[in-house]
Structure 1
């Protein structure tokens, strides 16, 4: 009788444990590769079509001030997984790094709590994780896709799945945007690009890949609906860093750090919620841990759970940073930046302004000239503008490839493209001082090595994992060979042609 009672107790215990697990929310994390705010229909973009993202926003929460922790793939994704700022992740603060293994990821915490975990395509990276003890990508064991992952799910187990697309990362197939029906004349060209048909065509090719990412995310959501798990799943759709264009990706200006973000969670979030508070990617991991009913003490981010439930939080600013992106400076040098962004201002500190922010003008190891900027027709056209700035127009070459002062300050309400640096303007001295103090206080509180030693060479000396050597690219030939339909356009200002008509 005693043994029968014990067996019954164990059976009931297993039943209630499984039942409790089934009530834990699933987590579906959908992350693009190089997608900037505000390039989604729900943000008002009139060209790119993002019905999946727009649906998540309508059925959940749309964020207007979501920021990546770093505008570079590896450090951004490490911060998502670890809930820690890039400078707290050692070598993981660089691109092409080794994944830090001193603190648990949210995936590891949830796996220990009984979650089925997995990922597909681009998880954490680029870089190496095996050398620090991982037997699979830190984003989760790799599966061919969501269907295979679900087929391997234990009965009743909650799950967390990372879908990492490589869209809209370059390279692009030229003219896909036009072929998909997009109109060049409808494109809004950021003020730090030349406004011509070549650049507009480059942007709609980027839009084409955003649309492909959006469609694939829709397919995963359809699977959730079919299996009856949609409303028990937290769905997060966002990007790792900004668009692969000059003065965007790998920069702390808004087009490098400000991200699209929508979260659907019916049990917590009212449909049509719009969140204007600042959130940082370090907030994802503690949010997922809390949602799963677990605890952690290693993360710097602030859980979004309370904010999504309507709780008032102190989120009036966000802190941003970057270290070495590609290996594009002689001596393997980083280009360190730290910043604080409020609703009105962006303050950037460049502690090593003597270095080249976009990389050296000749190839060092990675990519090519000015290698922190991905190669594109937009990049090459701006390179062709060196020394050709016209009166009354911003010097587009200097904005993208020139050296920068130690301090930058922008009124983002009046200057959304961050073209007019106010740091030396006496009228903004008090604003600059206040924001500098906020930034330094945050650096001290979070243990940033650059607080004590602004010229630290730590990230210069960190291992760059790939072993290859590129050559200088013939960018002038690339311009000559570039073809678009309709015929080539011209710069909006006189005297600087876009391309010769090669027809």
Structure 2
């Protein structure tokens, strides 16, 4: 079990046997978050996919903890990241949707973020890659490199962190790839014109692209097994392989600079894969995500953890780990550090909550969710309107094939049910992992619907959710 060694604790233990001048502050551990963009858990080797190539992430899982019940709170990039970096749901921190361009959502000026609080505690703070947060005054970093300088070259992005990592003093590094997000290009020479997912026409210097056959990809149950889906999955896998090579280089840099053993390393995604049925939804494909943690100086590894954790818990957990939680800090998540330390005293969560409101400014569809290990309850606040599409998902070859063929199903779900949703959805996710049998309309579950509705209202009141009014004013 890893134990934190912090200066106040050292003092309390040794003051009785030595003078204050003899007390030496113990080293503080570093923290690295490695964040991918739109990477679903169905596309990692360590999560059971034998085709996609993620050897570096798989080795990280073998040396650390692999979580099977880790959830984002909003399956949209900026909103999800705002929760990760503040410990507040997006409806509470102000980032209701995207921050860039005319979408223009941003956190309230009064919000205190993880980099700000770690900086106050003496940490050097650095970031590389995708930002997708606003305003910068709320999310200050001492060091920053925009990954657009590297295009989708994650190996080069990792190498750019070397000088920051090598410096003296504890550090927090927020490493964010654009992979495997869709981009604005398609493979025009392919009959189905799949999105390229950022794959370059020619490999980046010092790197080698890895391609995948459309015949070998594994089609998850939330997608239909069509030529268009397979073509896009092959591109998606290629982007993930490049992401993995970038992560491998970052781990190499940590080792070469003598910082690997003294660093807490987290791998996570902001939301699920950029396919309909996943990203922007709060079905499990969109919100149940990969989460791998390697504790510093840990001799054990390869453990699988099935406790519920949420992205709103990340900031309070890391501040707890660093001994840097401000006395007046208020979070809507809770620290699961005892779980990382494998403490037998950790009681765990009985449920997690999710809150999605916007993706793009034109994608208004608020949802509030309770997820336990057995059940998922969704309140579709604006259930009267059709479910809106993110522009890249609408344009995807995978979805346009559904429209062209007038398909009844997309994956395991009926297209009509995907587009027009009821006010309440209730799923037994243990027995119905595809979330297609809605129990909310079954009379025998009416009391459960009432109980979950009341629990959601209480959650909304506690987190100052403006949409709590919609229970009364529809």
* Alignment TM class, shorter chain as reference: 0.7 to 0.9
Aligned to 1:389: 408
For residue 356 of structure 1, give the secondary structure of its aligned residue in structure 2: coil
Q: Is the 8 A contact 1:119 1:161 kept in 2?
A: yes
Computing the radius of gyration over CA atoms, which structure comes out larger, 1 or 2?
A: 1
Which digits, 9 at most, give the CA deviation of each residue in 1:22-80, with x for residues without a partner? x1111111000001122211111122111111111111100001111210111111111
Match of 1:239 among 269, 275, 278: 269
Aligned to 2:205: none
Q: Is the 8 A contact 1:340 1:439 kept in 2?
A: yes
Measured in 2, the distance between the counterparts of 1:77 and 1:263 equals 18
| Aligned alpha-carbon RMSD (Å) | 2.9
Q: TM-score, normalised by structure 2?
A: 0.81
Measured in 1, the distance between the counterparts of 2:411 and 2:315 equals 43
Report the CA distance shift for 1:237/1:74 in structure 2 as closer, same or farther (over 3 A): same
For residue 94 of structure 1, give the secondary structure of its aligned residue in structure 2: coil
1:371 to partner: Cα distance: 3.2
Q: Is the 8 A contact 2:35 2:176 kept in 1?
A: yes
For residue 298 of structure 1, give the secondary structure of its aligned residue in structure 2: coil
Q: Does 1:142 align with 2:144?
A: yes
Report 1:9-20 matches (<5 A). Answer: 19-20=25-26
Aligned to 1:324: 358
Aligned to 1:276: 306
Report the CA distance shift for 1:420/1:266 in structure 2 as closer, same or farther (over 3 A): same
Structure 2: stretches of 5+ with no match in the other structure: 1-18, 100-104, 147-156, 191-195, 200-208
Aligned to 1:405: 422
Aligned length: 419
Report 1:162-181 matches (<5 A). Answer: 162-171=174-183, 174=187, 180=210
Aligned to 1:356: 386
1:283 to partner: Cα distance: 1.1
Report 1:87-98 matches (<5 A). Answer: 87-90=91-94, 92-96=95-99, 97-98=105-106
Measured in 1, the distance between the counterparts of 2:376 and 2:40 equals 17
Measured in 1, the distance between the counterparts of 2:378 and 2:178 equals 29
Aligned to 1:380: 400
Structure 1: stretches of 5+ with no match in the other structure: 1-11, 360-369, 458-503
Q: TM-score, normalised by structure 1?
A: 0.76
Match of 1:129 among 132, 135, 150: 135
Q: Is the 8 A contact 1:119 1:143 kept in 2?
A: yes
Measured in 2, the distance between the counterparts of 1:106 and 1:13 equals 31
Measured in 2, the distance between the counterparts of 1:15 and 1:420 equals 66
Aligned to 1:69: 73
Q: Does 1:444 align with 2:446?
A: no
Measured in 2, the distance between the counterparts of 1:356 and 1:274 equals 39
Which digits, 9 at most, give the CA deviation of each residue in 1:349-397, with x for residues without a partner? 01211122224xxxxxxxxxx63735211011122244x538x996643
Report the CA distance shift for 1:270/1:124 in structure 2 as closer, same or farther (over 3 A): farther
Which digits, 9 at most, give the CA deviation of each residue in 1:237-263, with x for residues without a partner? 110011111121111001111110100
1:181 to partner: Cα distance: 5.0
Measured in 1, the distance between the counterparts of 2:368 and 2:413 equals 24
Deviates further, 445-454 or 259-268: 445-454
Deviates further, 414-423 or 140-149: 140-149
